[in-house]
Chains A and B, each alone.
Chain A
Amino acid sequence: MTLAASAGRWRWKEPSVIPGFGLALGFSLTYLGLIVLLPLAALLLNAASLGWSGFWDIMLEPRTLAALRLSFLAALFAASVNAVFGLIIAWAFVRYDFPGRRLFDALVDLPFALPTAVAGIALTALYAPNGPIGGLLAPLGIKVAYTPLGIVIALIFIGLPFVVRTVQPVLEDLDKELEEAAATLGASRFRTLRSVILPALMPAILTGFTLALARAVGEYGSVIFIAGNIPYVSEIAPLLITIRLEEFNYAGATAIGAAMLMISFSLLLLIHLIQLWQRRRFTHG
Protein backbone atom coordinates (compact mmCIF):
# COMPACT_ATOMS: atom_id res chain seq x y z
CA MET A 1 0.00 0.00 0.00
CA THR A 2 2.77 2.44 0.83
CA LEU A 3 4.13 4.25 -2.15
CA ALA A 4 7.75 4.42 -1.08
CA ALA A 5 8.12 0.74 -0.16
CA SER A 6 6.71 -0.72 -3.36
CA ALA A 7 8.70 1.39 -5.79
CA GLY A 8 12.39 2.06 -5.79
CA ARG A 9 11.99 5.25 -7.79
CA TRP A 10 9.52 8.05 -7.27
CA ARG A 11 6.15 7.29 -8.70
CA TRP A 12 3.03 9.39 -8.34
CA LYS A 13 0.60 6.56 -8.97
CA GLU A 14 0.69 2.89 -8.16
CA PRO A 15 0.15 0.66 -11.18
CA SER A 16 -3.36 -0.83 -11.37
CA VAL A 17 -5.26 -3.04 -13.77
CA ILE A 18 -8.47 -1.11 -13.16
CA PRO A 19 -9.23 1.21 -16.03
CA GLY A 20 -10.61 4.71 -15.92
CA PHE A 21 -8.12 6.44 -13.66
CA GLY A 22 -7.43 9.28 -16.09
CA LEU A 23 -11.12 9.86 -16.82
CA ALA A 24 -12.24 9.69 -13.18
CA LEU A 25 -9.46 11.85 -11.78
CA GLY A 26 -9.52 14.25 -14.70
CA PHE A 27 -13.24 14.83 -14.40
CA SER A 28 -13.07 15.14 -10.61
CA LEU A 29 -10.27 17.69 -10.71
CA THR A 30 -11.92 19.74 -13.46
CA TYR A 31 -15.25 19.79 -11.67
CA LEU A 32 -13.62 20.57 -8.32
CA GLY A 33 -11.55 23.30 -9.93
CA LEU A 34 -14.45 24.98 -11.73
CA ILE A 35 -17.10 24.70 -9.01
CA VAL A 36 -15.06 25.13 -5.84
CA LEU A 37 -11.47 26.28 -6.32
CA LEU A 38 -11.89 28.91 -9.05
CA PRO A 39 -14.72 30.80 -7.28
CA LEU A 40 -12.86 30.64 -3.95
CA ALA A 41 -9.75 31.94 -5.69
CA ALA A 42 -11.87 34.77 -7.11
CA LEU A 43 -12.82 35.76 -3.57
CA LEU A 44 -9.23 35.66 -2.34
CA LEU A 45 -7.94 37.56 -5.42
CA ASN A 46 -10.61 40.22 -4.95
CA ALA A 47 -9.64 40.52 -1.31
CA ALA A 48 -5.96 40.75 -2.22
CA SER A 49 -6.67 43.55 -4.70
CA LEU A 50 -7.98 45.65 -1.81
CA GLY A 51 -4.48 45.79 -0.39
CA TRP A 52 -3.55 45.48 3.27
CA SER A 53 -4.71 48.96 4.24
CA GLY A 54 -7.93 48.69 2.23
CA PHE A 55 -8.67 45.32 3.83
CA TRP A 56 -7.98 46.52 7.37
CA ASP A 57 -9.97 49.73 6.88
CA ILE A 58 -13.05 47.60 6.26
CA MET A 59 -12.25 45.06 8.95
CA LEU A 60 -11.73 47.70 11.63
CA GLU A 61 -15.02 49.46 10.94
CA PRO A 62 -16.98 49.26 14.19
CA ARG A 63 -19.97 47.69 12.44
CA THR A 64 -17.82 44.94 10.87
CA LEU A 65 -16.07 44.23 14.15
CA ALA A 66 -19.36 44.10 16.04
CA ALA A 67 -20.85 41.68 13.49
CA LEU A 68 -17.81 39.38 13.49
CA ARG A 69 -17.64 39.42 17.27
CA LEU A 70 -21.34 38.60 17.58
CA SER A 71 -21.13 35.75 15.05
CA PHE A 72 -18.12 34.25 16.79
CA LEU A 73 -19.30 34.65 20.40
CA ALA A 74 -22.85 33.44 19.73
CA ALA A 75 -21.40 30.44 17.86
CA LEU A 76 -18.97 29.72 20.69
CA PHE A 77 -21.74 29.87 23.26
CA ALA A 78 -24.12 27.70 21.22
CA ALA A 79 -21.40 25.12 20.50
CA SER A 80 -20.61 24.93 24.22
CA VAL A 81 -24.27 24.30 25.06
CA ASN A 82 -24.33 21.65 22.33
CA ALA A 83 -21.17 20.00 23.68
CA VAL A 84 -22.76 19.53 27.11
CA PHE A 85 -26.26 18.53 26.04
CA GLY A 86 -25.02 16.62 23.00
CA LEU A 87 -22.91 14.48 25.30
CA ILE A 88 -25.86 13.82 27.61
CA ILE A 89 -28.09 12.94 24.64
CA ALA A 90 -25.49 10.62 23.12
CA TRP A 91 -24.97 9.01 26.53
CA ALA A 92 -28.69 8.44 27.04
CA PHE A 93 -29.06 6.93 23.56
CA VAL A 94 -26.11 4.56 23.86
CA ARG A 95 -26.27 3.51 27.51
CA TYR A 96 -29.97 3.50 28.36
CA ASP A 97 -33.11 2.06 26.91
CA PHE A 98 -36.29 4.08 27.22
CA PRO A 99 -39.58 4.38 25.34
CA GLY A 100 -39.23 6.47 22.19
CA ARG A 101 -35.46 6.18 22.08
CA ARG A 102 -35.33 5.33 18.38
CA LEU A 103 -37.72 8.14 17.52
CA PHE A 104 -35.66 10.71 19.41
CA ASP A 105 -32.49 9.29 17.92
CA ALA A 106 -33.92 9.85 14.44
CA LEU A 107 -35.04 13.36 15.40
CA VAL A 108 -31.45 14.39 16.14
CA ASP A 109 -30.85 14.56 12.38
CA LEU A 110 -33.76 16.91 11.76
CA PRO A 111 -31.63 20.09 11.95
CA PHE A 112 -29.53 18.65 9.08
CA ALA A 113 -32.59 17.94 6.97
CA LEU A 114 -34.86 20.89 7.78
CA PRO A 115 -34.17 23.91 5.53
CA THR A 116 -32.63 26.69 7.58
CA ALA A 117 -35.26 29.27 6.61
CA VAL A 118 -38.00 26.95 7.87
CA ALA A 119 -36.17 26.48 11.16
CA GLY A 120 -35.70 30.24 11.37
CA ILE A 121 -39.37 31.19 11.06
CA ALA A 122 -40.47 28.30 13.30
CA LEU A 123 -38.11 29.34 16.09
CA THR A 124 -39.19 32.96 15.71
CA ALA A 125 -42.86 31.96 15.98
CA LEU A 126 -42.06 30.07 19.20
CA TYR A 127 -39.85 32.66 20.86
CA ALA A 128 -41.51 35.90 19.73
CA PRO A 129 -43.07 37.82 22.65
CA ASN A 130 -46.53 36.63 21.55
CA GLY A 131 -45.38 33.05 20.85
CA PRO A 132 -45.88 30.01 23.11
CA ILE A 133 -42.38 30.08 24.66
CA GLY A 134 -41.68 33.81 24.28
CA GLY A 135 -45.02 34.51 25.97
CA LEU A 136 -43.95 32.46 29.00
CA LEU A 137 -40.59 34.21 29.24
CA ALA A 138 -41.85 37.75 28.64
CA PRO A 139 -43.38 38.19 32.14
CA LEU A 140 -39.99 37.16 33.58
CA GLY A 141 -38.38 39.99 31.63
CA ILE A 142 -36.52 37.59 29.32
CA LYS A 143 -36.55 38.56 25.66
CA VAL A 144 -35.31 35.91 23.27
CA ALA A 145 -36.49 36.78 19.77
CA TYR A 146 -34.88 39.86 18.20
CA THR A 147 -31.95 39.75 20.66
CA PRO A 148 -28.54 37.99 20.63
CA LEU A 149 -30.12 35.28 22.82
CA GLY A 150 -32.40 34.42 19.89
CA ILE A 151 -29.32 34.00 17.69
CA VAL A 152 -27.88 31.55 20.22
CA ILE A 153 -31.13 29.54 20.23
CA ALA A 154 -31.05 29.23 16.43
CA LEU A 155 -27.37 28.21 16.51
CA ILE A 156 -28.05 25.58 19.18
CA PHE A 157 -30.72 24.11 16.89
CA ILE A 158 -28.51 23.84 13.81
CA GLY A 159 -25.41 22.64 15.73
CA LEU A 160 -27.03 19.94 17.85
CA PRO A 161 -26.49 16.94 15.53
CA PHE A 162 -22.74 17.54 15.20
CA VAL A 163 -21.83 16.71 18.80
CA VAL A 164 -24.36 13.87 19.17
CA ARG A 165 -23.29 12.22 15.92
CA THR A 166 -19.56 12.44 16.60
CA VAL A 167 -19.75 11.28 20.23
CA GLN A 168 -22.32 8.49 19.71
CA PRO A 169 -20.18 6.06 17.65
CA VAL A 170 -17.15 6.54 19.93
CA LEU A 171 -19.28 5.87 22.98
CA GLU A 172 -20.69 2.74 21.33
CA ASP A 173 -17.18 1.43 20.70
CA LEU A 174 -15.94 2.31 24.17
CA ASP A 175 -14.67 -0.79 25.89
CA LYS A 176 -16.80 -1.51 28.96
CA GLU A 177 -13.98 -3.55 30.43
CA LEU A 178 -12.09 -0.35 31.15
CA GLU A 179 -14.95 0.87 33.30
CA GLU A 180 -15.20 -2.52 34.99
CA ALA A 181 -11.48 -2.42 35.70
CA ALA A 182 -11.80 1.05 37.18
CA ALA A 183 -14.68 -0.10 39.37
CA THR A 184 -12.76 -3.19 40.45
CA LEU A 185 -9.86 -1.01 41.47
CA GLY A 186 -12.23 0.86 43.74
CA ALA A 187 -13.04 3.94 41.71
CA SER A 188 -16.42 5.50 42.35
CA ARG A 189 -18.76 5.85 39.38
CA PHE A 190 -18.03 9.58 39.23
CA ARG A 191 -14.28 9.00 39.35
CA THR A 192 -14.58 6.43 36.53
CA LEU A 193 -16.56 8.92 34.50
CA ARG A 194 -14.02 11.67 35.06
CA SER A 195 -10.81 9.68 34.71
CA VAL A 196 -11.74 6.89 32.28
CA ILE A 197 -14.78 7.76 30.15
CA LEU A 198 -14.42 11.49 29.61
CA PRO A 199 -10.76 11.38 28.52
CA ALA A 200 -11.65 8.70 25.96
CA LEU A 201 -14.55 10.78 24.65
CA MET A 202 -12.72 14.09 24.70
CA PRO A 203 -11.42 14.06 21.10
CA ALA A 204 -14.90 13.24 19.81
CA ILE A 205 -16.49 15.95 21.96
CA LEU A 206 -13.92 18.48 20.76
CA THR A 207 -14.42 17.46 17.13
CA GLY A 208 -18.19 17.79 17.47
CA PHE A 209 -17.79 21.11 19.24
CA THR A 210 -15.53 22.49 16.51
CA LEU A 211 -17.83 21.23 13.75
CA ALA A 212 -20.80 22.88 15.44
CA LEU A 213 -18.77 26.05 15.92
CA ALA A 214 -17.68 26.14 12.28
CA ARG A 215 -21.24 25.64 11.12
CA ALA A 216 -22.63 28.24 13.53
CA VAL A 217 -20.12 30.99 12.68
CA GLY A 218 -21.28 31.03 9.07
CA GLU A 219 -24.96 30.25 9.65
CA TYR A 220 -27.42 32.58 8.00
CA GLY A 221 -30.89 31.22 7.20
CA SER A 222 -32.02 30.13 10.65
CA VAL A 223 -30.60 33.23 12.32
CA ILE A 224 -31.81 36.21 10.33
CA PHE A 225 -35.49 35.76 11.17
CA ILE A 226 -35.04 35.50 14.94
CA ALA A 227 -32.14 37.95 15.24
CA GLY A 228 -33.93 41.24 14.65
CA ASN A 229 -30.83 42.33 12.71
CA ILE A 230 -30.12 45.57 14.56
CA PRO A 231 -26.69 46.92 13.53
CA TYR A 232 -24.08 46.67 16.32
CA VAL A 233 -26.50 44.59 18.44
CA SER A 234 -27.92 41.57 16.62
CA GLU A 235 -26.44 41.77 13.14
CA ILE A 236 -24.36 38.69 12.25
CA ALA A 237 -21.39 38.79 9.88
CA PRO A 238 -23.00 36.78 7.02
CA LEU A 239 -25.94 39.19 7.07
CA LEU A 240 -23.57 42.16 6.87
CA ILE A 241 -22.08 40.58 3.72
CA THR A 242 -25.50 40.46 2.07
CA ILE A 243 -26.18 44.07 3.15
CA ARG A 244 -22.88 45.20 1.60
CA LEU A 245 -23.80 43.33 -1.60
CA GLU A 246 -27.18 45.06 -1.76
CA GLU A 247 -25.37 48.39 -1.40
CA PHE A 248 -23.11 47.33 -4.32
CA ASN A 249 -20.24 47.67 -1.86
CA TYR A 250 -18.32 44.70 -3.29
CA ALA A 251 -15.09 45.64 -1.51
CA GLY A 252 -16.88 45.51 1.85
CA ALA A 253 -18.54 42.17 1.09
CA THR A 254 -15.25 40.72 -0.19
CA ALA A 255 -13.21 41.76 2.85
CA ILE A 256 -15.69 40.34 5.37
CA GLY A 257 -16.11 37.21 3.22
CA ALA A 258 -12.36 36.65 3.05
CA ALA A 259 -12.02 37.12 6.82
CA MET A 260 -14.78 34.58 7.45
CA LEU A 261 -13.18 32.17 5.00
CA MET A 262 -9.96 32.42 7.00
CA ILE A 263 -11.89 31.66 10.21
CA SER A 264 -13.47 28.62 8.50
CA PHE A 265 -10.10 27.36 7.29
CA SER A 266 -8.59 27.76 10.75
CA LEU A 267 -11.43 25.76 12.28
CA LEU A 268 -11.02 23.10 9.58
CA LEU A 269 -7.33 22.88 10.41
CA LEU A 270 -8.19 22.60 14.10
CA ILE A 271 -10.53 19.67 13.37
CA HIS A 272 -7.75 17.92 11.45
CA LEU A 273 -5.31 18.47 14.31
CA ILE A 274 -7.80 17.07 16.83
CA GLN A 275 -8.30 13.99 14.69
CA LEU A 276 -4.57 13.57 14.28
CA TRP A 277 -4.16 13.78 18.05
CA GLN A 278 -6.98 11.29 18.50
CA ARG A 279 -5.43 8.81 16.09
CA ARG A 280 -2.04 9.11 17.75
CA ARG A 281 -3.53 8.61 21.21
CA PHE A 282 -5.46 5.50 20.33
CA THR A 283 -2.96 3.73 18.13
CA HIS A 284 -0.32 3.55 20.83
CA GLY A 285 1.55 0.27 20.68
Chain B
Amino acid sequence: MANANLASTPPLGEAAIAPLLPPAHSKTSATGEKAATRWTLIAIAIGFLALFVLLPLGAVFAEAFRAGFGAYWEAVSEPDAVAAIKLTLLAAGIAVPANLVFGIAASWAIAKYEFRGKSLLNTLIDLPFSISPVISGLIYILLFGAQSVLGPFLREHGIEIVFALPGIVLATIFVTFPFIARELIPLMQEQGTAEEEAALTLGASGWRTFWHVTLPNIRWALLYGVILCNARAMGEFGAVSVVSGHIRGETNTMPLHVEILYNEYNFAAAFAVASLLALLALLTLIVKLVLEWLYADQIAGTRRH
Protein backbone atom coordinates (compact mmCIF):
# COMPACT_ATOMS: atom_id res chain seq x y z
CA MET B 1 0.00 0.00 0.00
CA ALA B 2 2.75 2.43 0.96
CA ASN B 3 4.57 1.78 -2.29
CA ALA B 4 1.43 2.25 -4.37
CA ASN B 5 0.80 5.57 -2.70
CA LEU B 6 4.35 6.68 -3.28
CA ALA B 7 4.19 5.79 -6.94
CA SER B 8 1.12 7.94 -7.47
CA THR B 9 2.41 10.97 -5.61
CA PRO B 10 3.43 13.91 -7.76
CA PRO B 11 7.17 14.32 -8.48
CA LEU B 12 7.52 17.19 -6.08
CA GLY B 13 6.23 15.16 -3.12
CA GLU B 14 8.41 12.23 -4.06
CA ALA B 15 11.49 14.35 -4.05
CA ALA B 16 10.60 15.59 -0.60
CA ILE B 17 10.16 12.09 0.77
CA ALA B 18 13.07 10.44 -1.01
CA PRO B 19 15.83 11.41 1.45
CA LEU B 20 13.84 9.79 4.24
CA LEU B 21 13.59 6.42 2.50
CA PRO B 22 16.32 3.84 2.75
CA PRO B 23 18.50 3.48 -0.38
CA ALA B 24 16.61 1.61 -3.09
CA HIS B 25 19.30 -1.07 -3.60
CA SER B 26 19.18 -2.28 0.01
CA LYS B 27 16.29 -4.57 0.85
CA THR B 28 17.38 -5.06 4.46
CA SER B 29 15.72 -3.16 7.22
CA ALA B 30 17.40 -2.68 10.56
CA THR B 31 15.53 -5.66 11.99
CA GLY B 32 15.65 -8.00 9.01
CA GLU B 33 18.23 -10.15 7.30
CA LYS B 34 19.78 -9.92 3.85
CA ALA B 35 17.80 -11.73 1.17
CA ALA B 36 20.57 -14.32 0.82
CA THR B 37 20.54 -15.07 4.56
CA ARG B 38 16.78 -15.17 4.59
CA TRP B 39 16.49 -17.64 1.76
CA THR B 40 19.28 -19.82 3.15
CA LEU B 41 17.45 -20.11 6.46
CA ILE B 42 14.16 -20.86 4.72
CA ALA B 43 15.90 -23.49 2.58
CA ILE B 44 17.42 -25.12 5.68
CA ALA B 45 14.04 -25.16 7.43
CA ILE B 46 12.21 -26.65 4.43
CA GLY B 47 15.00 -29.08 3.68
CA PHE B 48 15.15 -30.36 7.24
CA LEU B 49 11.37 -30.81 7.42
CA ALA B 50 11.26 -32.49 4.01
CA LEU B 51 14.05 -34.89 4.95
CA PHE B 52 12.85 -35.77 8.43
CA VAL B 53 9.07 -35.48 8.19
CA LEU B 54 7.76 -35.40 4.63
CA LEU B 55 9.97 -38.17 3.28
CA PRO B 56 9.14 -40.75 5.99
CA LEU B 57 5.44 -39.98 5.54
CA GLY B 58 5.73 -40.47 1.80
CA ALA B 59 7.70 -43.67 2.32
CA VAL B 60 4.80 -45.22 4.28
CA PHE B 61 2.38 -44.82 1.38
CA ALA B 62 4.93 -45.67 -1.33
CA GLU B 63 5.83 -48.93 0.40
CA ALA B 64 2.20 -49.72 1.18
CA PHE B 65 1.18 -49.63 -2.49
CA ARG B 66 4.39 -51.12 -3.88
CA ALA B 67 2.76 -54.55 -4.29
CA GLY B 68 -0.37 -53.05 -5.84
CA PHE B 69 -3.91 -52.32 -4.67
CA GLY B 70 -4.90 -55.99 -4.51
CA ALA B 71 -2.14 -56.84 -2.04
CA TYR B 72 -2.95 -53.69 -0.08
CA TRP B 73 -6.60 -54.61 0.29
CA GLU B 74 -5.73 -58.18 1.19
CA ALA B 75 -3.32 -57.02 3.91
CA VAL B 76 -5.83 -54.72 5.59
CA SER B 77 -8.80 -57.08 5.29
CA GLU B 78 -7.31 -60.41 6.40
CA PRO B 79 -8.77 -61.69 9.70
CA ASP B 80 -5.74 -60.89 11.90
CA ALA B 81 -5.61 -57.33 10.58
CA VAL B 82 -9.34 -56.88 11.13
CA ALA B 83 -9.00 -58.26 14.67
CA ALA B 84 -6.15 -55.80 15.30
CA ILE B 85 -8.23 -52.89 13.98
CA LYS B 86 -11.17 -53.90 16.17
CA LEU B 87 -8.98 -54.23 19.27
CA THR B 88 -7.39 -50.82 18.62
CA LEU B 89 -10.82 -49.21 18.27
CA LEU B 90 -12.06 -50.96 21.42
CA ALA B 91 -9.04 -49.98 23.53
CA ALA B 92 -9.21 -46.37 22.38
CA GLY B 93 -12.99 -46.45 22.80
CA ILE B 94 -12.54 -47.20 26.49
CA ALA B 95 -9.38 -45.20 27.21
CA VAL B 96 -10.43 -41.91 25.60
CA PRO B 97 -13.81 -41.57 27.41
CA ALA B 98 -12.14 -42.55 30.69
CA ASN B 99 -9.58 -39.80 30.28
CA LEU B 100 -12.31 -37.44 29.12
CA VAL B 101 -14.20 -37.84 32.40
CA PHE B 102 -10.96 -37.44 34.33
CA GLY B 103 -9.96 -34.40 32.28
CA ILE B 104 -13.23 -32.63 33.03
CA ALA B 105 -13.16 -33.52 36.73
CA ALA B 106 -9.51 -32.52 37.18
CA SER B 107 -9.86 -29.24 35.29
CA TRP B 108 -13.05 -28.41 37.22
CA ALA B 109 -11.25 -28.94 40.53
CA ILE B 110 -8.08 -27.10 39.46
CA ALA B 111 -9.59 -24.21 37.52
CA LYS B 112 -12.65 -23.35 39.59
CA TYR B 113 -11.21 -23.51 43.10
CA GLU B 114 -8.24 -22.34 45.12
CA PHE B 115 -6.79 -25.03 47.35
CA ARG B 116 -3.45 -26.10 48.71
CA GLY B 117 -1.51 -28.70 46.79
CA LYS B 118 -3.02 -27.55 43.52
CA SER B 119 0.30 -27.06 41.76
CA LEU B 120 1.45 -30.50 42.93
CA LEU B 121 -1.70 -32.04 41.44
CA ASN B 122 -1.05 -30.10 38.25
CA THR B 123 2.47 -31.49 38.05
CA LEU B 124 1.37 -35.06 38.78
CA ILE B 125 -1.13 -34.97 35.92
CA ASP B 126 1.74 -34.31 33.49
CA LEU B 127 3.83 -37.15 34.89
CA PRO B 128 2.93 -39.81 32.28
CA PHE B 129 4.24 -37.53 29.50
CA SER B 130 7.77 -37.81 30.81
CA ILE B 131 7.81 -41.55 31.38
CA SER B 132 9.14 -44.00 28.81
CA PRO B 133 6.36 -46.02 27.12
CA VAL B 134 8.14 -49.23 28.07
CA ILE B 135 8.06 -48.24 31.74
CA SER B 136 4.37 -47.36 31.37
CA GLY B 137 3.83 -51.02 30.45
CA LEU B 138 6.33 -52.40 32.94
CA ILE B 139 4.56 -50.87 35.93
CA TYR B 140 1.36 -52.79 35.15
CA ILE B 141 3.31 -56.04 34.72
CA LEU B 142 4.87 -55.45 38.14
CA LEU B 143 1.47 -54.66 39.64
CA PHE B 144 -0.72 -57.33 38.04
CA GLY B 145 1.66 -59.92 36.51
CA ALA B 146 1.81 -63.56 37.61
CA GLN B 147 4.93 -62.85 39.71
CA SER B 148 3.37 -59.85 41.52
CA VAL B 149 1.84 -59.72 44.98
CA LEU B 150 -1.59 -59.60 43.36
CA GLY B 151 -0.73 -62.37 40.89
CA PRO B 152 -1.93 -65.43 42.88
CA PHE B 153 -5.14 -63.64 43.90
CA LEU B 154 -5.95 -62.69 40.31
CA ARG B 155 -5.25 -66.21 39.05
CA GLU B 156 -7.46 -67.76 41.75
CA HIS B 157 -10.36 -65.56 40.73
CA GLY B 158 -9.76 -66.01 37.02
CA ILE B 159 -9.11 -62.31 36.43
CA GLU B 160 -6.84 -61.65 33.46
CA ILE B 161 -5.31 -58.20 33.33
CA VAL B 162 -1.83 -58.56 31.88
CA PHE B 163 -1.64 -60.09 28.37
CA ALA B 164 -5.35 -59.33 27.96
CA LEU B 165 -7.67 -56.41 27.13
CA PRO B 166 -7.65 -54.81 30.63
CA GLY B 167 -3.86 -54.50 30.55
CA ILE B 168 -3.92 -52.97 27.08
CA VAL B 169 -6.60 -50.49 28.15
CA LEU B 170 -4.75 -49.56 31.36
CA ALA B 171 -1.48 -48.97 29.51
CA THR B 172 -3.33 -46.89 26.91
CA ILE B 173 -5.05 -44.83 29.60
CA PHE B 174 -1.69 -44.24 31.28
CA VAL B 175 0.13 -42.93 28.21
CA THR B 176 -2.79 -40.69 27.17
CA PHE B 177 -3.59 -39.64 30.73
CA PRO B 178 -2.70 -35.90 30.55
CA PHE B 179 -3.96 -35.06 27.05
CA ILE B 180 -7.49 -33.80 27.74
CA ALA B 181 -6.80 -32.30 31.15
CA ARG B 182 -3.83 -30.42 29.65
CA GLU B 183 -6.08 -28.74 27.08
CA LEU B 184 -8.87 -27.89 29.52
CA ILE B 185 -7.03 -26.62 32.59
CA PRO B 186 -5.40 -23.47 31.13
CA LEU B 187 -8.58 -22.57 29.22
CA MET B 188 -10.89 -22.97 32.20
CA GLN B 189 -8.46 -21.04 34.40
CA GLU B 190 -8.55 -18.22 31.89
CA GLN B 191 -12.36 -18.26 31.77
CA GLY B 192 -12.66 -17.99 35.54
CA THR B 193 -15.83 -18.54 37.53
CA ALA B 194 -17.97 -15.47 36.86
CA GLU B 195 -20.35 -17.12 34.38
CA GLU B 196 -20.91 -20.14 36.61
CA GLU B 197 -21.52 -17.89 39.60
CA ALA B 198 -24.09 -15.92 37.60
CA ALA B 199 -25.93 -19.10 36.61
CA LEU B 200 -25.94 -20.35 40.18
CA THR B 201 -27.18 -17.00 41.47
CA LEU B 202 -30.06 -17.21 38.99
CA GLY B 203 -31.01 -20.53 40.55
CA ALA B 204 -29.51 -23.11 38.23
CA SER B 205 -28.38 -26.37 39.77
CA GLY B 206 -24.74 -27.41 39.68
CA TRP B 207 -25.27 -29.94 36.85
CA ARG B 208 -27.38 -27.52 34.85
CA THR B 209 -24.68 -24.87 35.22
CA PHE B 210 -22.11 -27.35 33.97
CA TRP B 211 -24.19 -28.49 30.97
CA HIS B 212 -25.42 -25.07 29.86
CA VAL B 213 -22.61 -22.73 30.88
CA THR B 214 -19.30 -24.51 31.28
CA LEU B 215 -19.56 -27.19 28.61
CA PRO B 216 -20.43 -24.81 25.73
CA ASN B 217 -17.44 -22.69 26.76
CA ILE B 218 -14.99 -25.54 26.60
CA ARG B 219 -16.41 -27.72 23.81
CA TRP B 220 -13.78 -26.94 21.15
CA ALA B 221 -10.88 -27.37 23.52
CA LEU B 222 -12.52 -30.62 24.63
CA LEU B 223 -12.74 -31.86 21.04
CA TYR B 224 -9.16 -30.74 20.45
CA GLY B 225 -7.97 -32.74 23.45
CA VAL B 226 -10.05 -35.76 22.46
CA ILE B 227 -8.62 -36.03 18.94
CA LEU B 228 -5.03 -35.72 20.19
CA CYS B 229 -5.75 -38.25 22.93
CA ASN B 230 -7.35 -40.60 20.42
CA ALA B 231 -4.43 -40.39 17.98
CA ARG B 232 -1.99 -41.35 20.70
CA ALA B 233 -4.31 -44.05 22.09
CA MET B 234 -4.66 -45.76 18.72
CA GLY B 235 -1.00 -45.42 17.85
CA GLU B 236 0.60 -46.34 21.16
CA PHE B 237 3.22 -49.01 20.68
CA GLY B 238 5.77 -49.36 23.48
CA ALA B 239 3.48 -49.52 26.51
CA VAL B 240 0.93 -51.76 24.82
CA SER B 241 3.66 -54.00 23.44
CA VAL B 242 4.91 -54.76 26.96
CA VAL B 243 1.49 -55.69 28.40
CA SER B 244 -0.14 -57.30 25.37
CA GLY B 245 1.66 -60.64 25.15
CA HIS B 246 1.45 -60.44 21.34
CA ILE B 247 -1.22 -63.07 20.87
CA ARG B 248 -2.14 -62.86 17.19
CA GLY B 249 -5.79 -62.17 16.52
CA GLU B 250 -6.41 -61.70 20.24
CA THR B 251 -4.20 -59.13 21.96
CA ASN B 252 -2.63 -57.52 18.92
CA THR B 253 -3.40 -53.87 18.31
CA MET B 254 -2.69 -52.24 14.95
CA PRO B 255 0.81 -50.97 15.79
CA LEU B 256 1.72 -54.40 17.18
CA HIS B 257 0.34 -56.06 14.07
CA VAL B 258 2.59 -53.78 12.00
CA GLU B 259 5.57 -54.96 14.04
CA ILE B 260 4.75 -58.65 13.61
CA LEU B 261 4.28 -58.33 9.85
CA TYR B 262 7.48 -56.33 9.57
CA ASN B 263 9.49 -58.87 11.55
CA GLU B 264 8.13 -61.59 9.28
CA TYR B 265 9.59 -59.64 6.32
CA ASN B 266 6.05 -59.12 5.05
CA PHE B 267 6.90 -55.48 4.33
CA ALA B 268 4.07 -54.65 1.93
CA ALA B 269 1.46 -55.83 4.44
CA ALA B 270 3.22 -54.10 7.33
CA PHE B 271 3.22 -50.80 5.46
CA ALA B 272 -0.38 -51.32 4.34
CA VAL B 273 -1.58 -51.51 7.96
CA ALA B 274 0.87 -48.71 8.86
CA SER B 275 -0.67 -46.52 6.15
CA LEU B 276 -4.03 -46.72 7.93
CA LEU B 277 -2.35 -45.39 11.07
CA ALA B 278 -0.61 -42.70 9.02
CA LEU B 279 -4.00 -41.68 7.58
CA LEU B 280 -5.32 -41.40 11.11
CA ALA B 281 -2.37 -39.14 11.96
CA LEU B 282 -3.02 -36.95 8.92
CA LEU B 283 -6.71 -36.76 9.71
CA THR B 284 -5.86 -35.78 13.28
CA LEU B 285 -3.56 -33.01 12.06
CA ILE B 286 -6.22 -31.69 9.67
CA VAL B 287 -8.94 -31.58 12.35
CA LYS B 288 -6.45 -29.98 14.74
CA LEU B 289 -5.56 -27.34 12.16
CA VAL B 290 -9.21 -26.58 11.38
CA LEU B 291 -9.99 -26.21 15.09
CA GLU B 292 -6.99 -23.91 15.53
CA TRP B 293 -8.16 -21.77 12.61
CA LEU B 294 -11.82 -21.53 13.56
CA TYR B 295 -11.65 -21.45 17.32
CA ALA B 296 -8.18 -20.16 18.16
CA ASP B 297 -9.59 -18.07 21.00
CA GLN B 298 -11.52 -20.98 22.48
CA ILE B 299 -8.57 -23.31 22.59
CA ALA B 300 -6.00 -22.72 25.27
CA GLY B 301 -3.30 -22.69 22.66
CA THR B 302 -0.99 -25.13 24.37
CA ARG B 303 0.68 -26.13 21.16
CA ARG B 304 3.26 -28.28 22.83
CA HIS B 305 1.56 -31.65 22.77
List the interface of chain A (C-beta within 8 A of B): 1, 3, 12-14, 16-21, 23-25, 27-29, 31-32, 35-40, 42-43, 46, 85, 88-89, 91-93, 95-96, 98, 100, 104, 106-119, 121-123, 125-126, 132-133, 153, 156-157, 160, 162, 165-166, 168-169, 176, 179-180, 183-184, 189, 192, 211, 214-215, 217-221, 225, 238-239, 241-242, 245, 248, 250, 253-254, 257, 260-261, 264-265, 267-268, 272
Contacts and interface: CB of A to CB of B under 8 A. Distances in A.
B114 A122 contact: no
A219 B132 contact: yes
A115 B234 contact: yes
Interface residues of B, number: 98
Contacts of B41: 88, 91-92, 96
B131 A221 contact: no
B255 interface: yes
Nearest to B243: A245
22 contacts: A18-B113, A19-B206, A21-B113, A21-B115, A24-B112, A25-B105, A32-B121, A42-B143, A42-B148, A85-B44, A88-B41, A91-B45, A112-B228, A115-B235, A123-B59, A165-B303, A169-B303, A220-B132, A220-B237, A254-B138, A254-B142, A261-B131
A109 B281 CA distance: 10
Contact of B147 (A104, A180, A250): A250
Nearest to A23: B105
Contacts of A25: 105, 109, 113, 115
Nearest to B235: A115
Contact of B237 (A109, A115, A260): A115
A237 B49 CA distance: 28
Given A39-B142, A113-B284, 15 more contacts: A13-B113, A18-B196, A19-B200, A21-B115, A28-B121, A117-B235, A117-B237, A119-B56, A125-B267, A157-B52, A189-B28, A219-B132, A220-B133, A225-B262, A245-B138
Interface stretch (B4-12, B75-83, B169-177): B169-177
Contact of B45 (A93, A126, A179, A253): A93
Contacts of A39: 139-140, 142-143, 174
Contacts of B285: 106, 109-110, 113
A35 B177 contact: yes
Q: Name the prevailing secondary structure of the B interface residues.
A: helix
A219 B134 CA distance: 8
B237 A116 contact: yes
Contacts of A272: 123
Interface string B234-246: 1111100110000
Nearest to A179: B31
Contacts of A27: 101-102, 105
A59 to B, nearest CB: 15
B148 to A, nearest CB: 8
A80 B74 CA distance: 43
B271 to A, nearest CB: 7
